[in-house]
Amino acid sequence: MKPTLLILAAGMGSRYGGLKQLDGLGPNGETIMDYSVFDAVRAGFGKVVFVIREDFADDFRRIVLAKYKGQVDCEVCYQALDKIPAPFSVPEGRTKPWGTNHAVMMARDIINEPFMVINSDDFYGRESYEVMAKFLHSVEGKKGEYAMAGYRVLNTLSENGSVNRGICKTDADGYLTDVVERINIEEIDGVVSFPDEHAGRVAIDPNAPVSMNMWGFTPDYFAQSEKGFRSFLEEHGQEMKSEFYIPTMVNELIINKEARCKVLDTPSKWFGVTYAQDRPAVVMKLNELIQKGEYPNKLF
């Protein structure tokens, strides 16, 4: 059975100023999602599932899905605030979505095989899909065998300032044990570092693995998430801005020894569009990859 790619595309992209998932950045109007789908298909994924908001479903089908016809099987599911289990209810006045792991849960009735989760507006690189596809094939029929693409921190830095990253710690077998958040990481005079409390800087191994929200799961993750979401709602369900995140759920399962998460090293360079001013650099990087022969000029 071929693994499935699950793309989280329900966000508005408010900081970007529009639906950045639909923004054409490639030479023929390709979106970042188009490159993700292209990489997944050539890595051996058999299906793509998109989590979107129902209110832009028509535009999404017309602009995005139509181009994949005959290339790969695609399905859509919708994330909505009121998709929560009884007896819980959405607090009056809440408009913020329930977070990335709630979005993953929307695909429970569609996905029955090992699957990978990514953000719609992040470029992950072809090697990452190949590494994850190999892992997902190896865990077919198993439970509690998860993975995370461990990007080398040097390959995730921004040319426009410092970044915050979760530095991953692993055991001797390469399984995730802890994630330590470091803020204001940047490369200065050839050294990757972050500031300490004494106004100095602490060096980081440039190959230290960080999470960029590329995950691999066996399908039992849906049932685990349903259970975890109920616990989350009991504690945070009446808050206006609380969110149910993937790393939170994975960490809880690791602590409870109900699952383990392999950190898969990838040499890929990550880049994404967070702010509108990031757009020109992404366009340039995509063109450079095309010139190097990594991608055809026209994907689909």
Pairing of strands 145-152, 260-266: parallel
For residue 175, list its beta bridge partners.
262
Cα separation, 58 vs 140, whole angstroms: 34
Domain membership of residue 298 (yes or no) is no
**First and final CA of the chain: distance in angstroms?**
24
Domain membership of residue 239 (yes or no) is yes
Domain membership of residue 238 (yes or no) is yes
> How much is the pLDDT for 18?
53
Residue pointed to by tokens 């830095």: 157
Indicate whether 14 pLDDT > 60: no
**Which tens digit of pLDDT belongs to each residue from 260-291?**
999 999 999 998 876 677 789 899 999 999 99
Residue 118 is encoded by which pair of tokens? 């990514």
**Which tens digit of pLDDT belongs to each residue from 148-167?**
999 999 999 987 788 889 89
In 3D space, the residue among 112, 109, 106 whose CA is nearest the CA of residue 2 turns out to be 112
Domain membership of residue 297 (yes or no) is no
What is the extent of the structural domain holding 159?
Answer: 4-291
Domain membership of residue 272 (yes or no) is yes
- Determine contact, residues 144/220, Cβ cutoff 8 Å: yes
> How much is the pLDDT for 110?
96
Cα separation, 188 vs 162, whole angstroms: 10
Domain membership of residue 264 (yes or no) is yes
Domain membership of residue 67 (yes or no) is yes
**Which tens digit of pLDDT belongs to each residue from 194-206?**
998 888 999 999 9
Indicate whether 19 pLDDT > 80: no
For 238-262, what is the mean pLDDT?
95
Average pLDDT taken over every residue of the chain = 92
Q: How many domains does the chain have?
A: 1
Residue pointed to by tokens 């509108």: 276
- Determine contact, residues 3/114, Cβ cutoff 8 Å: yes
> How much is the pLDDT for 201?
93
3-state helix, strand, coil in the chain (%, to 5): 30, 25, 40
> How much is the pLDDT for 274?
66
Indicate whether 73 pLDDT > 90: yes
CATH number at residue 161: 3.90.550.10
Domain membership of residue 148 (yes or no) is yes
